[in-house]
């Protein structure tokens, strides 16, 4: 399966803003875009294959340098629904809160603690109403 085209910063920012404003009323396509964009940014900022972050049905990325895999389940897997992911990505939910009973985050394996890399900076700034500028390698479409 070919890799997806990178989501533009402007499209990603618009999707995050829409989610911040509408939450559970966000259209499915917009929610999917917000999830995929924040996962894309996370993967750019923390490249590697030691941890797989899954947000079904919208996306999954492999992040963090270290032990990687070529087949089967990666050494560490983190999984949650889209609403939980967006709350983590924007900083509304802390990693500890997400991992607590009923928090919605399932994490197993070495290096599955993402507390040091969440929230996703651009998503946190948007949620806080700050500038949405980004100076990384995310490609513009």
Compute the distance between CA of residue 54 and CA of residue 15 in angstroms, rounded to an integer: 19
> Which domains are seen in the chain, by residue range?
9-127 (3.30.1050.40)
Q: In the structure encoding, which two tokens stand for residue 26, read together?
A: 């966000």
Q: Map residue 123 onto helix, strand or coil.
A: helix
Q: What is the pLDDT of residues 76-108, one digit of tens each?
A: 999 999 999 999 999 999 999 999 999 999 999
pLDDT band at 75 (very low <50, low <70, confident <90, very high): confident
CA angle, 68 then 109 then 67, to 5°: 20
- Better-scored residue on pLDDT, 69 or 25: 25
Helix or strand (DSSP H, E) at 90: helix 82-90
Compute the distance between CA of residue 110 and CA of residue 9 in angstroms, rounded to an integer: 31
């Amino acid at each position: 399966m070919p890799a997806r085209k990178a989501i533009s910063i402007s499209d990603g920012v618009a999707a995050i803003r829409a989610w911040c404003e509408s939450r559970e009323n966000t259209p499915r396509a917009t929610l999917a875009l917000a999830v995929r964009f924040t996962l894309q940014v996370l993967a750019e900022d923390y490249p590697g294959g030691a941890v797989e972050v899954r947000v079904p049905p919208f996306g999954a990325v492999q992040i963090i340098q270290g032990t990687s895999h070529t087949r089967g389940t990666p050494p560490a897997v983190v999984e949650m629904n889209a609403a939980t992911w967006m709350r983590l990505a924007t900083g509304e939910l802390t990693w500890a809160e997400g991992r607590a009973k009923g928090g919605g985050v399932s994490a197993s394996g070495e290096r599955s603690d993402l507390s040091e890399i969440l929230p996703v900076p651009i998503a946190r700034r948007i949620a806080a109403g700050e500038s949405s500028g980004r100076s990384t390698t995310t490609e513009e479409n």
